[in-house]
Structure 1
């Protein structure tokens, strides 16, 4: 009788254990059972990462993030996009607020000390955006002209320091304000990463009004940020990025999000190769 009681108790414990495992276990990247994955993006960069008025999301980074998440086992409805501003990206990863970040996140040594990166998945360059009928063809043409960038950005100062010392800098609160100033003629050019400029210029209200000059004033290797030490996730994302290029989804995303501005994108970068 004692043996039967012990056996019955053991069986009950085993049943509870199996039940718990079935409910909460498994590969966390499987995306099954309604699990969600939190992904950091920008909410305010048209063509890159934008939260639309209806609550949906658009942009190249959104397309990359959606593709990567699917390769990790998550359907679009299981992705929760989290706004990740530039100053908070490293903290968001270290706190575990997000699984990974796709947010025009340039790889550099300072950031690599705090987070790990998959990719790069896009090579961007600092460039100039001007009106389609502008005579500005290179950075030096900005001498005596008005150049706009946003508060806190070093892009415009780089142009003034290295290329056009007589340029007049105008700092505004955001790139949308810079484009409005460019449209009105109060500034002659706007500068930041070409991908960001192309995204803004591709908006319906600006289509056909602006063009990129094609100056490659810097190399910006966009990577997918992952929590420091999470090599398994980095490896999975790298595999997803490679597949995205091979099946042409990467180029389709570039054309869709940047094409209207005449963006001449670099070929898809090779995983782990940083262009200095």
Structure 2
């Protein structure tokens, strides 16, 4: 939200002029093509498949798939999840990726949302939760969870977060790229990372260069 607010300001909009619209993962491309939103900044990974349908500014953050575990957990590698319960949200590929590539004997447990996975982790019903480290750090940084969870610090994938724009709207892409560069140069990017992830002791990657995707 800090990225979206900063970009909107550079496009000429004040915070009270922003209309926040929830867009589910499966509907992001349609929301842009229909013109429901001007741009989307929501852990939106830049992929070749998505680039066929929308244009991207950025990336503005390099994230990685990781594990969230209890603070005293001895899980330090993805292979430690063999014979353990791994939670992810219904429809996500994160847990399947872990089972396929690292821990074939992991027991997958799907929940309707990350909050349900967090409750299950806190109650000992599952041993770990997996998705992007930025999302996990955001939860771990919340007041009610401080000190209860930790990130394993794994880099199971590279996720280049971009700002999605309607296909063909090159002018908006260029303006957002300029805004993102300014956000980094005036230290607003660094402040946003610290404010959102600092309490979780999230070791973020440096700000990526515009157009520099890490495969």
- TM-score band by shorter chain is over 0.9
Deviation track 1:69-103 (CA, whole Å, cap 9, x = no partner) reads 11111111111111111111111111111111111
Q: Which residue in 2 is equivalent to 1:206?
A: 145
Question: 256, 260, 274: which one pairs with 2:195?
Answer: 256
Q: Which residue in 2 is equivalent to 1:56?
A: none
Q: Does 1:99 align with 2:35?
A: no
Structure whose alpha-carbon radius of gyration is higher: 1
Question: 153, 156, 159: which one pairs with 1:220?
Answer: 159
Q: Does 1:197 align with 2:136?
A: yes
Q: Does 1:267 align with 2:206?
A: yes
Q: Which residue in 1 is equivalent to 2:81?
A: 142
Tell me the CA shift for residue 149 of structure 1.
Answer: 0.7
Which structure 2 residues correspond to residues 63-142 of structure 1 after superposition, within 5 A? 63-142=2-81
Aligned partner of residue 162 in structure 2, secondary structure: strand
Q: Does 1:170 align with 2:101?
A: no
Over 6 Å off, 4+ runs:
none
Which structure 2 residues correspond to residues 53-64 of structure 1 after superposition, within 5 A? 62-64=1-3
Aligned partner of residue 20 in structure 2, secondary structure: strand
Structure-2 separation of matches of 1:145 and 1:116: 40
Aligned partner of residue 83 in structure 1, secondary structure: coil
Q: Does 1:230 align with 2:176?
A: no
Structure-2 separation of matches of 1:86 and 1:110: 14
Tell me the CA shift for residue 65 of structure 1.
Answer: 0.6
Structure-1 separation of matches of 2:164 and 2:92: 21
Structure-2 separation of matches of 1:140 and 1:112: 33
Tell me the CA shift for residue 214 of structure 1.
Answer: 0.7
**How many pairs align?**
215
Structure-2 separation of matches of 1:173 and 1:96: 28
TM-score (norm 1): 0.77
Tell me how large the CA RMSD over aligned residues is: 0.8
Gaps of 5+ in 1: 1-61
Tell me the CA shift for residue 251 of structure 1.
Answer: 1.0
Deviation track 1:198-251 (CA, whole Å, cap 9, x = no partner) reads 111111111110000011000110100011111111000000000000111001
